[in-house]
Amino acid sequence: MLVIIMYETSIIERNPWWTSGSVPGELIGINRTEYLGKIAEHLRDLKLLAILGIRRSGKSTLIYQSIKYLLDNGTDPKNIFYINADDFEKPRREDLEAALDFCQQNNMVSLKDKKCFCFIDEIQNVKGWQQLLKKYFDLKYASKFIVSGSSSSLIYKNSSESLAGRINFIDMFPLTFREFLEFNEIEIPDFALDFQSMKQIYYDLSVKVNEITGFLLQYLNVGGFPEWFDIKNEETWFKILAEEYTSLLIYRDIVRIFRIRDPLLLESVFRFVSSHSSERFSYLGIAKQNDGDKETSKQYVFHLARSHLINLSDFYTKSKKASEKKEKKIYFCDLGLKNSIGGRQDIGFDAETSVYLHCLKRVSGYPMGKIFYWFDKKKNETDIIMSYGSELIPIEVKYRSSFDDSDLAGTLSFCHDFNVKNAYVVTKTLMEEREIEGIRFSFIPLWLFLLAF
């Protein structure tokens, strides 16, 4: 009984709008308008909505922004519930159901008959959550359930098995460079990944280039977690990233959820890949570097990838079997987290990681969207291939300002082999178009490429 009473107190504290009618300003932060717009669209229907992303990427703040949106648009404060599953000692379906019962009783509303909005944070901690929400949906409850989770694969897996057709997903990433500038009060007009559009923006922003590139170097160093803007001290920030974030991400999420038998090996693999972002790797090589066996190391890499701490890029080929035999490339989820754990790499590697993360977010909204890399028989590589099903966009990252045609041998080979007519080269400062062997190359500065939609 004492545990229940303590949790009821926690619920009341976490729902201050029940009495004040508003969300405290310190909980709202800076609006991430793109995500807020997506959530606003989904709030109109009764399907479950899952907001997925790694811890500290801003999910809880986005939930508070969504609650403010509802209040601003006339929703009764008593019809909005916020529950954080981290508050449960050993969260089970029964605990979540009891918490929802308390919210209904305290506010004298019925989830079944009244359209309430129930936000449940860190839902992956609750065993059996999907069966409970499935029951509410199938019984045609009038209420809307919005959940968030930091172990994306677990939520996808559980939801695809039991909530098929009943749930929508929004993937949330750390701040893009565009958002990073917005958080620094620099507004950039929207423009597409198209040379002519980008050329005009390039000239329009010419007076701001030094300021923008200064923030770019900061972004490549501290990364995109929104909490940086509360800290703004590099020494303190990197200590928080290396200690608190690693503890939460590795030990609280992955070790517990995936029942890892050798946490020290997992952490060793995590630290190893943090210093090799944007490089090719083999599972045997990772095992040897970390004194582990190949199969366990492979499993741990997959767990890191399933939790979105790292991303794996496959070799591009139309044969899935052939692709699986090739080495993969590995990319860390956030540059600041990577730098705090594995140290700074050459800026060329960081530039490629930032381009990959930008492209990953770009393709995430497409059902067939995926990112690959490629190399020819002479090992000439193309860093990134954005694939939208039949459409292929090759991107080479060369963080310098001058090039010979021979520097683009890998991308030229790719374009000829797959009949692609346009390619991009991300540079340090060069902005121009060039036709090489019948292929149109668009050379775009890194800061500008990272701002394109």
pLDDT at 145: 97
Q: Are 418 and 387 in contact (CB under 8 A)?
A: no
In sequence order, the 6+-apart residues with CB closer than 8 A to the CB of 404 are none
Residue percentage of the chain with pLDDT more than 70: 96
pLDDT tens across 244-294, in order? 777 777 877 788 777 888 988 988 998 888 999 999 998 898 999 888 889
What are 144's strand-pairing partners?
117
User: pLDDT tens digit string along 174-197?
Assistant: 999 999 999 999 999 999 999 999
Is residue 237 within 8 A of residue 349, CB to CB? The reply is no
pLDDT band with cut points at 50, 70 and 90 for residue 321: confident
Q: Closest Cα partner for 241 from 347, 151, 338?
A: 338
Q: Residues of CATH 3.40.50.300 domain(s) within the chain?
A: 2-171
Average pLDDT over residues 80-96: 89
Contacts of 223 (CB under 8 A, 6+ apart): 174, 241, 334, 335, 336, 337, 338, 339
Task: Specify the pLDDT at position 150.
Answer: 75
- Alpha carbons 333 and 174: distance in angstroms, whole number: 8
- How many helices (DSSP H) and strands (DSSP E) are in the chain? 23, 14
| Paired tokens of 372 | 């690959």
Cα→Cα distances 311→15, 249, 329, Å: 36, 15, 8
Predicted confidence (pLDDT) at residue 37 exceeds the cutoff of 70:
yes
**What is the rounded CA–CA span in Å between residue 71 and residue 65?**
10
Average pLDDT over residues 62-80: 97
Q: pLDDT tens, 132-178?
A: 999 999 999 999 999 998 765 555 555 556 788 899 989 899 999 99
Mean pLDDT of the chain: 91
d(CA 188, CA 198): 12
Question: Where residue 422 falls among pLDDT bands split at 50, 70, 90?
Answer: very high
Residue 3's pLDDT is 46
Position 257 scores a pLDDT of 74
Per-residue CA distances from 322 to 131, 295, 327, 383, 391 (Å): 39, 20, 11, 19, 21
* Longest CA pairwise span in the chain (Å): 76
CATH class, 2-171 region: alpha beta
Pair 210, 45: CB distance under 8 Å: no
pLDDT score recorded for residue 160 = 54
What whole-number distance in Å separates Cα of residue 311 and Cα of residue 305?
A: 5
pTM: 0.90
| φ and ψ of 388, to 5 deg | -115, 55
Tell whether the model's pLDDT for residue 1 goes beyond 50: no
Residue 318: its pLDDT value, please?
Answer: 80
Q: Amino acid identity, residue 305? A: A
